[in-house]
Structure 1
Amino acid sequence: MSDLTGVIHDIGYQRYTGPRLGRRYVFGSLYTHGLRTAFGLGRSAKAKIFPWFVLGIVALTGLILAAVRAQVGEVVVTYSSFADTMAWLVIFFVAVVAPELVSRDLRSGVLPLYFSRPLPRADYVYAKFAALATAVWLLLGGPQLLMFLVAAFSADSLKAVWTEVGDLVPGLIYAVLWATVFAGLGLLIASLTGKRAFAAGGIVAVFLMTTPIVGVFAVLPSQTLNDLALMFSPSSLVYGVGVWLFGSEGGDDVGSFGPLYAAVAVGLVAGCIALLMARYRKVASS
């Protein structure tokens, strides 16, 4: 029996000597990828149909409102109330985009790769949240900027332009509120299942099922409950904060509960993020 001999084969392995971009780069890449995914960029034509259809409707609405204002000389819809007008489109946009951002990752089983160093679970949550919130803000803020440009070029003095800026800023801030509340809630619901259809249906169901509760509390024979009614649905909660901060064209009022509405909105966003953190700790450990 001959002695066994071993052979070492040189397969050309070399250590990586390039730059180690680290955690910040990974976070930025995940955020950028999420934002591109929200609008179907870098994906098939089918993935672009719905987000760009919604974006087109919202932009066209803003353009029409600006054109009507330029013709009649009166504000038809203010910047702040523009988001309220587009509420249901925002709901369906979030219902489609949120599952694309997180449900696909659950279904494809790539989370262990994401959660390997140097990306902590918190960064994954924050990157996805920031991407969806930015997408919703662009959906609402972009048409407002279009409306502003039309109004600014139609203005007859620099003072009128500055007045228009003063009207625009609250609208953009209001769009941030819509974006953060809807992004947090949408991602939390979508993170519960890897099936995108179920996630989208769950998001829409939450808004549909909570809307009648607002109507019930609004007709009860108690002024306090009437003032608190808007708090029981995510979209009306955001509207209630807007009523407190910027007033209402329809005469709606939240009484002295404006700060409470704002606190509940902030708590809702913080709670959704905290639950997302807990959710992904559970996913990673299972």
Structure 2
Amino acid sequence: MPEPTGVIHDIGYQRYTGPRLGRRYVFGALYLHGVRTAFGLGRSAKAKIFPWLVVGIVLMVAAAVTAIRSQIGETVMTYAQFADSMSWLVIFFTAVAAPELVSRDLRSGVLPLYFSRPLSHADYPLAKLLALVTALFLLLGAPQLVMFLGAAFTSDGMGGVWDELLDLLPGLLYAGLWAAVFASIGLLIASLTGKRAFAAGGIVAVFLMTTPVVGVLSILPAQAANQLAGIASPPTLVQGVGVWTMRDLLITDPDGVVPDLGPFGPVYALAAVALVAACVTLLLARYRKVAAR
């Protein structure tokens, strides 16, 4: 019986000898790709329409506010008020961007490929969350910088520029609060389904369905219920934190309607922190379950 023979063919295969960039590089690449995805960069022209339409709207509003202020010499809208005014656009931007960041990967089944790399189950959702927070912060923060530059060029001396800067910084912090709350809620909801339409509808529904609850609580006979009503909805929760921390920057009209928080301002702040922490915890638990499949 003839002995089995074999032939080894040299096809030029060589082992990889370059640098192994590791977990930190993968996390950074996911984060950068997430920010680009939120704005439709690197994707089809159709994917760029809505995010850049929203960007165009907020920049036009900022430019209009700056132009009016330069003509009349008075502040039309503070930096903090700008974030409040754009809250509905932020909701819809989140509803479109969050599913693009996570629902597509769930539906296409590529997550096992991500987790086969030096990437923990927590790195993936945290990179996506940080990317969405960054995108929302840029959406609200960049127009504020436009307003600041316009005001700085029309200010009287460095003293006026310094005063504008002191007004800008709280506005940017407030924009960061909007971004953190909306991104954590939106990404958690989007991570529950691989269908982007369902995810977008769920995000919008959560924000819209909680608004009537605030209205009901605000007309109850109990004063404490009226003052705590804003906690029931994410937008009014964030606005409550803003009223408590920067009341003079958000309420510039002495004859306007002033939200009555009573002694519960710190409760609003704690509720906002607890909401973000709960959403992040559930998001990590969700991807721990996905990674275990």
The answer, yes or no, to whether TM exceeds 0.5 is yes
Residue 285 of structure 2: aligned partner? 278
Residue of structure 1 equivalent to 2:81: 81
- Over 6 Å off, 4+ runs: none
Q: Return the offset for 1:257.
A: 1.0
State the distance in 2 between where 1:82 and 1:254 align.
21
| Separation of aligned partners in 1, 2:261 and 2:133 | 26
Residue by residue, what CA displacement relative to the aligned partner does 1:197-240 show, whole Å, maximum 9, x if unpaired?
00000000001100000001111112111110100001111111
CA distance in 2, matches of 1:202, 1:272: 15
CA RMSD of aligned residues (A): 1.0
In the alignment, structure 1 residue 256 sits paired with structure 2 residue 255: no
Unmatched runs of 5 consecutive residues or more in structure 1: none
Aligned residue identity for 1:7: V
Name the SS of the counterpart of 1:194 in structure 2. coil
Aligned to 2:254: none
- 1:43 maps to a residue whose letter is R
Q: In the alignment, residue 229 of structure 1 is paired with which amino acid?
A: A
Q: CA deviation at 1:4?
A: 2.2
In 1, Cα distance between the equivalents of 2:11 and 2:44?
38
Give yes or no for contact 1:243–1:253 (8 Å, CA) kept in 2. no
- Whole-angstrom distance in 1 between the partners of 2:121 and 2:33: 17
Question: Do structure 1's residue 37 and structure 2's residue 37 form an aligned pair?
Answer: yes
Unaligned runs of at least 5 residues, structure 2: 252-256
Equivalent-residue separation in structure 2 for 1:22 and 1:276 (angstroms): 24
For residues 169-180 of structure 1, what are the structure 2 equivalents within 5 Å? 169-180=169-180
Residue 198 of structure 2 is matched in structure 1 by 198
Match of 1:221 in 2: 221
Summarize deviations over 1:131-170 as a string: whole Å, max 9, x none: 0000000000000000000000000121111111111011
Q: Secondary structure at the match of 1:155?
A: coil
DSSP 3-state at the match of 2:14: coil
Aligned length: 286
Identity of aligned residues (%): 69
1:127 — aligned with what?
127
* Whole-Å separation in 2 of the counterparts to 1:3 and 1:158: 92
Q: How does 1:1-286 map to 2 (within 5 A)?
A: 1-247=1-247, 248-249=250-251, 250-286=257-293
Letter of the structure 2 residue corresponding to residue 215 of structure 1: G
User: Once structures 1 and 2 are overlaid, which stretch shifts more, 248-257 or 196-205?
Assistant: 248-257
Q: Which amino acid aligns with 2:164?
A: E
Contact 2:122–2:288 at 8 Å: present in 1 too? no
- Which has the higher mean CA deviation after the structures are superposed, 177-186 or 214-223? 214-223
Rounded to whole Å, the distance in 1 between the matches of 2:115 and 2:96 is 25
The one-letter code sitting in structure 1 at the alignment partner of 2:116 is: S
Deviations 1:38-64 (A, max 9, x none): 111111111110000000000100110
Whole-Å Cα distance in 2 between the matches of residues 188 and 177 of structure 1?
17
Q: Contact 1:38–1:132 at 8 Å: present in 2 too?
A: yes
Structure 2 letter corresponding to 1:168 = L
Q: Normalized against structure 1, the TM-score is what?
A: 0.98
Secondary structure of residue in 2 paired with 1:77: coil
SS of 1:121's equivalent? coil
Residues 244 and 253 in structure 1, CA contact (< 8 A), matched pair in contact too: no
- Aligned-partner Cα distance in 1 for 2:167–2:212: 32
1:16 is displaced (CA, Å) by: 1.1
Q: CA contact under 8 A between 1:190 and 1:199: conserved in structure 2?
A: yes
